[in-house]
Amino acid sequence: MFSDFMLTHAWLIPLLPALAFLWIGFFTRLHKKRSAAIAITMSSLSFLLACGVTWAVLSGPITMETPFVQKTLWFEIGSVRIFMGSLVDPLTAMMLMVVTMVSLLVQIYSVGYMAHDPGAGRFFAFLSLFAASMLGLVIAVNFAQLYVFWELVGLCSYLLIGFYYDKVSAREAAKKAFITTRIGDFGLLLGILLLQITFGTLDFQELKVLVPAYIWISGTSFMTIVGLLLFIGPIGKSGQFPLHVWLPDAMEGPTPVSALIHAATMVVAGVYLVGRAYFIFSALPVVMNVIAWLGGFTAFFAATIALTQRPIKRILAYSTISQLGYMMLALGVGSLTASMFHLMTHAFFKALLFLCAGAVIEAMQDEADIFKMGGLRKKMPVTFAAMTIGVLAISGLPPFAGFFSKDEILGAAAAVSTPLYLLGTLTAFLTAFYMARLLFVTFFGEASPGCPATETNAFMRWPLIVLAVLSCVSGLWGHFAGFGEWVYFGAAEETGIDWVIAGTSTVLSLVAIGLAYEIYVAKRWSAYEISQRFGVLYTLSFNKYYIDEFYTLLRRTFCDGLGRILYWIDLHVIDGIVNGLARLVGVLSTIFTFLQNGQVQRYVAVFYGGVIVLVAYSLFYAYKVLTLLGGAF
Amino acid sequence: MNFLAIGTEIAIALLMLIVLAADLLLPKDVSHRRIGVISMVGLAVILVYTFGQYHIGASPTFFGGLFFVDNYALFFKQLFIIGMLFTILFSLEYTEKLLRYRGEFYVLLLSALLGMCVMASANDFITTFVGLELMTVSFYILVGARMTSEDSSEAAVKYLIVGAASTAVMLYGMSLVYGAAGSLVFSEVCRNIHLFYAAGLAGVIMVIIGFFFKLSVIPFHMWAPDVYQGAPTPVTALLAMGSKAAGIAVFMRILYTAFPILGNFWLPLLAGFAALCMIGGNIMAIRQTDIKRMLAYSSIAQAGYMMVGMAAADLAGMKAVLFYAMLYVFANLGAFAVLTVIDTERGGTSRRDITGLAQAAPLLAAVMTISLLSMAGIPPTAGFAGKLYLFTAVVERGYLWLAFVGFVMSMISVYYYLMVAKAMYRDLTPEEAEYAAPVYVPLTVRAAVLVSVFATLGLGICPEWLASLTNAAVQTFMR
Amino acid sequence: MNDLILSLHRLIDMGMTMAEELGTPEIILAAVFYVFAGISVLGALGVVLGRNIVHSALCLTASFIGIGCLYIFLSADFLGAVQFLVYGGAVAILIVMAIMLTRREDMAHSNPSRSIPHQLAALVVAGMFLLAMAAVALMSPFQTAPADIGDTVTGIADLMLTKYVLPFEIVAVLLLIAMIGAIILAKGVDES
């Protein structure tokens, strides 16, 4: 009974935050506290519902193969019938839990973080909409619904990254995020349209039956194109190379937003899409290879950039790209379980890291450069503890969450391809190093004199603690409770630990942390000298391989050149037409106003004028009929 | 004689008489809200009753098919009743404060409703005409019901004169059609080939002109701006949704059942005038500063959109028109409920009077914005779905240019709709601080606007709910 | 009233017999029609063009009577009688009474006409309408029904109480509404 109720009401989960958005947007926008209260209430309710749904999934007969689907006809044009509804399977349930929990914690945190911001009401409205869009995406029953929410997520990220709209850099970053992800969305849209054209449906359950049959009959060549197009969407949204450039800039938004984007609501949408449509991708070896290698490369590539960055949030941003690369790698080598497991643990520890970073930045009065911090360990003990847990988790040290999930990924990669496994392991080493660097530089050493930092307030502290606990236990829980029997594709996976792989990566991580300690705390080697020695590499990494500059160059030559031509056309041709039209409208208005002079006699005259014209038309028609019939009847 | 067929009409007439008697019994100086409540309760009961009348198969008729209670008529009757019910709901306060003859006001509203319902079911020209006149005469008086306002009286006189001219033309047309076709019953008229002679065609065109007047199609629209602006705000609301929808109901029935063989004759006309309305209505609306007047011009454009669906002349087009008529009722309910409050509290409906409404009454500002966006056809409001249905229907019949005009004009309309939103939401200058003072919003108005907004958004998000009803409604025309 | 109708009928019958003797019934019929039609059209023009509103009212009565004669000419006795009684009698008197109640001292310019261009415009519109309708009439062959309908009173009563009972009832409501409207508009605001 209870579980049925929960499943049939799963659609409430995205609806509640959406209501919060409407309510705040329309009524309480100007009241900070009321807005926060509404947003948090709705988020809590939807978190509770998500718990209920998860319980129902765990206790009921629902598995990956037999999901619970409930849908209603949304609209119908011609023969195309588009449905809307909710699809609940273990994957959905896991995502619902993660998204509602992280967004709830972020909202609570924001109460403290945004306490002095005059736009806090707007902020909570956007946060609610953000969560609602992501939840809607998660429970989508078909590609159409998914795409709608996918775009909504993009819109929300635009609104939130550009939240401080009076700052030029924020506006630019928002635009960059929106446009870059739009490029990906275009590919996704093409893919979806091809699916609709080929199969006549966008429904996941129906496609699950149709796609394998289609591939069996006509081979993989056409579907490979579809699959690649579909994958372009996740490349943009999940910040894979080469469309990753928006993600580091996205830190221009308020820090809670970064936490939300990086952990739960935006970037994982791409990973989730691949997971949701895994029945398409997994049948296409070429696409799988692309996913695996692109993921692996992105993981390594982003990690090398993160080594040299200085602003705290930027380091975290590149670490996110790197971790997303891991998830893609796992998907590419065929392990949905590992990818989703890592998605979950990552959501917790990345949210934790970002919220800690926010606390640090706030304590340092908006100073973001880690080398201008230092010695915060004593001033902010709780934050320090939380941050340490986060760093250990992301570095993959047992028994923290990252250890288990990363180990799964590496194991899956090793089973398929040794180069990929090596790439992953190397990335793990780099990850441990740069995260340790972040931790040591920020919290150890000597505090600069006059450093204003103090411990954060309760609203910000408690979410940190909750997330820290989750970062400790979620891996253990997933490992022992059998995550792989729950979220899987094909056959259920055993969650075992390959001790060789796990041991290697753990040792490497420890070495990396030790190395970082020697360099940044014990100062045995000078960081500066090292950077000098690897001059070219350092410069490349520090400047993010000049990819942004490359894009700028591209834009300058192609877009601006084209733009100049188009601008000329616009100025001389289009404007001419538009101005002419505007003048025409003015003239028409004058004529009509002249007629509309308030005299009823004139109204009647115009009326009869119309009558005469129409009667003349009927005469003309009658004449035509008569000539046509030649005077018959 | 099948009295069941005219059950709705009998019930409305009875309700009207009860209200009239109740008004006589009620002392003069007490609140007349309870009379409004009586009417609303009655209408609600009738509305529920009409739901039970939906049917599959043969439709009940009265007197040999002169009066036809098919699903199509039922749909429109429900539309009228909903419109009337909620108009009474949001105008209780307005009626109480600004009108002199409150009891009679409700009686006249109900008689107008009776006229509309008769029109929706009419299956011959005499019944149509009588229903039309009952509605129109009630409106002549209603428009002038605000005794203290010169504008109101002026509007009433203008409406009467132009309306009489239109009635004359229409009646002349009906007589010509009778002369040519030898019958007044739609289903018999359609069989007579003599309609193709000049007299028949002229008669048809004059009947069409009569309905063009009701739909305020350019150039028969001249009365609309003055009358909309001068009439008491709730009456304007009913003119925009009820009177217009009633015109559309019987217009479509006449075109498709009485004159189908003349399709080649009136289809280009409909398409042409639809384009004219969309272009002219939207362009003229841009310059208006009074919101009621702006809505008058916008209603001309809206009539144009609905005629686009009629020009498709197939089931999809009809469904689209029905859908649009219903969502237009909800959009108008929201917008006019807000205007009624503004009119009551601030004594006008110009753009100045709604300044700062976002602070004075955030609910009303939100409702107004959503309603106007629905009229402009912005997703996720119902207006978007409605326009989608209309334009796809007409494109499938080959009128691509018409859909294009409609699309461009919808874009233009966003401009003046958003001007209203801007006036409500912009920051106030220090001199305008008085506009931020809270506006009293009665509970009844709150209820009415919430219903309208939920309907507008609900139908926008899931248009299928209403679409299934329109599917049932057009069954009559499946032949 | 009955006498009047009877005498009109007798007149028409006399004309008919005379015409039949002469062998040209169509011409006489047409002449009679044009006389009656002329009365009503000229009367209507007088309403619009008259400077004095009392004259306009009188012309209106003349127009009504002309139409009543046309009804009788078309063998619609009952309608003709109603036209004489209600329009030629009651409505005309009502209008004159209403004019009286407006209490003007001089009726000479009580119905001001508009400037020449406006009159011209009106003339053009009316003329074109006339032309259009004339063309319509000329271009279409009308079906004609047998002239003798019999007892029109019974016929009308039958139709009203059987086939058209619903419109008939609705007209009753319409009259009620019109009365209510007339009362509230006439009472106006000053009462309290």
Per-residue pLDDT tens digits for B263-281: 888 999 999 999 999 988 8
Residue type, B73: A
Choose among A230, A219, A231: nearest CA to A292.
A231
Q: Residues of C with CB below 8 A from B63's CB? A: 162-163, 165-166
pLDDT tens by residue, A334-381: 888 888 888 888 888 888 888 888 888 877 777 777 777 767 777 777
Residue A442 has a pLDDT of 79
pLDDT at residue C191 is higher than 60: no
Q: What is the DSSP letter of A311?
A: B
Residue B126 has a pLDDT of 92
Residue type, A449: P
Q: What is the mean pLDDT of residues C63-91?
A: 88
pLDDT at residue B254 is higher than 60: yes
CB contact under 8 A, A612 and C125: yes
Residue among C139, C178, C180 whose CB faces B197 most closely:
C139
Write the CA distances from A28 to A31, A257, A562, B452, integer angstroms. Answer: 5, 21, 45, 21
Residue B133 has a pLDDT of 94
Give the nearest chain B residue to C181 (CA atoms).
B141
pLDDT confidence band for A508 (50 / 70 / 90): confident
Highest mean pLDDT of the ranges A218-232, A442-456, B210-224, C125-139: B210-224
pLDDT confidence band for A633 (50 / 70 / 90): very low
The rounded distance, in Å, linking the Cα atoms of B275 and A412 is 64
Q: What is the mean pLDDT of residues A320-332?
A: 87
Q: What is the mean pLDDT of residues C123-135?
A: 87
Residue C177 has a pLDDT of 93
Q: What is the DSSP string of B168-200?
A: HHHHHHHHHHHHHHS--BHHHHTT-GGGGSHHH
Complex prediction ipTM: 0.89
pLDDT at residue B89 is higher than 90: yes
The rounded distance, in Å, linking the Cα atoms of A396 and A408 is 11
pLDDT at residue B18 is higher than 90: yes
Residue C11 has a pLDDT of 73
Consecutive H or E run containing B107? helix B102-121
CB contact under 8 A, C135 and A619: yes
CB contact under 8 A, C136 and A601: no
* Residue A76 at interface with chain B, using a CB cutoff of 8 Å: yes
Residue A451 has a pLDDT of 63
Residue B479 has a pLDDT of 56
Residue type, A415: A
pLDDT tens by residue, A75-86: 776 667 788 888
- Three-class secondary structure of residue B289 per DSSP: coil
Q: What is the mean pLDDT of residues C90-110?
A: 79
pLDDT tens by residue, B408-466: 888 888 888 888 888 888 878 888 888 888 888 888 899 899 999 999 998 888 888 88
Highest mean pLDDT of the ranges A601-610, B42-51, C51-60: B42-51
pLDDT at residue B467 is higher than 90: no
The rounded distance, in Å, linking the Cα atoms of A586 and A57 is 64
Question: Percentage of chain C with pLDDT > 90?
Answer: 19
Write the CA distances from B186 to A74, B264, B395, integer angstroms. Answer: 37, 18, 29
pLDDT tens by residue, B341-360: 998 888 888 888 888 888 88
Q: Residues of B with CB below 8 A from C170's CB? A: 114-115, 118, 127, 130-131, 134
More confident of the two residues B11 and B313: B11
CB contact under 8 A, B201 and A621: yes
pLDDT at residue A64 is higher than 90: no
pLDDT confidence band for C108 (50 / 70 / 90): low
pLDDT at residue B45 is higher than 90: yes
How close B55 gets to chain C, by Cα (Å)?
23
**Contact of B232 with B146, CB cutoff 8 Å:** yes
Mean pLDDT of chain A: 80
A312-332 and A336-363 are packed helices; what angle lies between their axes, rounded to 10 degrees? Answer: 180
pLDDT at residue A485 is higher than 80: no
Q: Residues of C with CB below 8 A from B179's CB? A: 142-143
Residue A506 has a pLDDT of 83
Residue B172 has a pLDDT of 93
pLDDT at residue B76 is higher than 90: yes
pLDDT at residue B46 is higher than 80: yes
Residue among A609, A615, A618 whose CB faces C125 most closely:
A609
Which chains pack against C, by 3+ Cβ pairs within 8 A? A, B
Residue among C121, C122, C132 whose CB faces A612 most closely:
C132
Q: Token pair of B448, please?
A: 């009415």
pLDDT at residue A93 is higher than 90: no
Q: What is the mean pLDDT of residues B51-60?
A: 82
CB contact under 8 A, B205 and A72: no
- Three-class secondary structure of residue A77 per DSSP: strand
Residue B348 has a pLDDT of 84
- Cβ neighbours for B217, distance < 8 A, ≥ 6 positions apart: B273, B276, B277, B300, B303, B304, B307
The domain over range C1-130 is classified in CATH as 3.30.420.40:
no
The rounded distance, in Å, linking the Cα atoms of A199 and A193 is 10
CB contact under 8 A, B392 and A75: no
Q: Return the residue matching tokens 């990345």.
A: A350
**Angle formed at CA A291 by CA A130 and CA A319, multiple of 5 degrees:** 55
The rounded distance, in Å, linking the Cα atoms of B10 and B118 is 11
- From the CB of residue B154, how many other CB atoms can be counted at a distance below 10 Å? 18
Highest mean pLDDT of the ranges A468-472, A512-516, A572-576, B77-81: B77-81
More confident of the two residues B257 and C107: B257
pLDDT at residue A447 is higher than 70: no
pLDDT at residue B29 is higher than 90: no
pLDDT confidence band for B213 (50 / 70 / 90): very high
Highest mean pLDDT of the ranges A437-441, A569-573, B384-388: B384-388
CB contact under 8 A, A619 and C122: no
Residue among A608, A618, A623 whose CB faces C129 most closely:
A608
pLDDT tens by residue, A456-473: 677 777 888 888 888 888
* pTM of the shown model: 0.71
pLDDT at residue C113 is higher than 70: no
pLDDT at residue B81 is higher than 90: yes
* Residue B147 at interface with chain C, using a CB cutoff of 8 Å: yes
pLDDT tens by residue, A148-172: 888 888 888 888 888 887 777 788 8
Q: Residues of A with CB below 8 A from B392's CB? A: 77-78
**Angle formed at CA B327 by CA B326 and CA B331, multiple of 5 degrees:** 125
Say which range, A217-221, C55-59, C164-168, has the weakest mean pLDDT: A217-221
pLDDT at residue A428 is higher than 80: yes
Question: What is the distance, to the nearest Å, from the Cα of residue B95 to the centroid of all Cα atoms in its chain?
Answer: 20
CB contact under 8 A, A76 and B467: yes
Residue among C114, C122, C128 whose CB faces A612 most closely:
C128
- Three-class secondary structure of residue A68 per DSSP: strand
CB contact under 8 A, A615 and C133: yes
Give the nearest chain C residue to B149 (CA atoms).
C189
Mean pLDDT of chain B: 89
Residue A264 has a pLDDT of 73
Picking from A621, A624, A629, A633 by the largest number of B CB atoms within 10 A of its own CB, the best residue to mutate is A621
Give the nearest chain B residue to A622 (CA atoms).
B198
Residue among B205, B222, B366 whose CB faces A607 most closely:
B222
Residue among A74, A598, A623 whose CB faces B464 most closely:
A74
- Helix-strand-coil percent breakdown of chain C, rounded to 5? 80, 0, 20
* Residue A619 at interface with chain B, using a CB cutoff of 8 Å: yes
Consecutive H or E run containing A82? strand A80-88
Q: Token pair of B252, please?
A: 């479509």
Highest mean pLDDT of the ranges A539-548, B129-138, B401-410: B129-138
pLDDT tens by residue, A569-606: 777 777 777 777 777 777 776 777 666 777 888 888 88
